[in-house]
A and B are shown apart, each in its own frame.
Chain A
Amino acid sequence: MSHTFDFDGRAIPFTTGQSVGAALVAAGIRAWRTTRREGRPRGIFCGIGVCFDCLVEVDGVPNQRACLVPAAADMIVRRQEGAGRGHLAV
């Protein structure tokens, strides 16, 4: 069974039980965060919730581990810049 979630305006298909991160990798998207200091691209590294490299904004909440969050239909997933506090406008 296949559904989609929204990633920066693009519909990403996923199968039941897949994580947000796994679905992004399957769609050919490998980076969805930039680092605070150097602005370097990051995506999944450890894949099991240990490294926190794959942080992403899910339904308005930043700093979610994409490798752990189960994908859900109609989820809004956004790329995360720096500390992920852009939504606070500070």
Chain B
Amino acid sequence: MRRFKVLKSLIRDSLDTITHGSRKYHLWMAALTFIMLVGMYCYSIQLDQGLSVTGMTDKVSWGLYISNFTFLVGVAAAAVMLVMPTYVLKDIDFKQAVLIGEGVAVAALIMCLAFVIADMGGPSVLWHMIPGIGVFNFPNSMLTWDVLVLNGYLFLNITIPFYILFRHYQGKKSKKSVYVPGAFISVFWAVAIHLVTAFLYQGLQARPFWNNALLGPRFLASAFAAGPALIILVLAIIRSYTTFKIEDKTIKKIAMVVTVAAQINLIMLISELFKEFYAPTHHSESAYYLFFGLDGKNALLPWIWTAISLNVLATVILTFHKLRNNFKVLFFACFILFIAIWIEKGFGLIVPGFIPGPYGKIAEYTPTGIEIGVTLGIWALGAFVFTILAKTAIGIEIGKLRYKK
């Protein structure tokens, strides 16, 4: 009974926190709400007329939605890079950052699920996928694995921080015996969500561009670069706008993680390029399309070369200690690395998988305004969810929110 009382008070207090803030905060939330509404309007058009309002066709049947989904799974998985040292290796530095990291993971997962639902042709029969009432093609379909691991990871990332914050809210210390096992599982789980998502593509013999053994490991490397890079940026913003204390040491440690992951990612990129272009086969055509264009069709060229140059530049900057330890340079490097990987692992990965088609037909894909509207709406949703979670968590952590008996 007491716990319910505390919960009720927590909900009331957090509602109070998230509805009060500075002028800038209100402007931020209003802008996000506006973008979400625009996204919902675009989605209503899509629901009404069907997916024909998007740029997708029978030739390129996955587009911006699935690209963003793939990328965001990586962002969600990256929260583990903070969880592991804090809870498992008992490195105290990360303790403040880890709640933020888990908040990012929750927001990213919600975006992932929203993108998958936006991509569905029949969202009204989505219950067919629910085990028990529907038919769940497990273990044959990798998509069912993905449904399981994503929702499981979402559960872990909600419950662990919730337990810790719930204890802190009452002014108690959280018990290690409760959350450390959960943290342990989530470490393995994070690797699983990303590997399973890679297997979704890797397992298709029809698409040689995806059907290579490096796809999974490369997903992990790029995720562990882009995710923590985003977390560094978020921490930088939180540090300058709230009294929440994040030490330089913490950011420097995360920067180290980003650096190593970005270096490994670059090595894998070189390995992939070597394989595709040293002895090109029929199966290298998608890579040719992506990097050089085929038959005068080259819509992705500016994107992928931007991504590659940003990627190399960021990795070089991060590699030098002097540059990395200068925070202004670090934030810049993190930002361009994030953009680079969003391009490369988003539509730079998904779209060329369909080009050329099974019989060599080259049909390009350009997203429509409605598709972009829905995509922006979902990103705004993610930012909105994260802001709410972070504001409450910070309120509890700095002791502003406390249970009054």
Q: Do A and B bind each other?
A: no
Q: Which B positions have Cβ atoms within 8 angstroms of A?
A: none
Q: Which A positions have Cβ atoms within 8 angstroms of B?
A: none
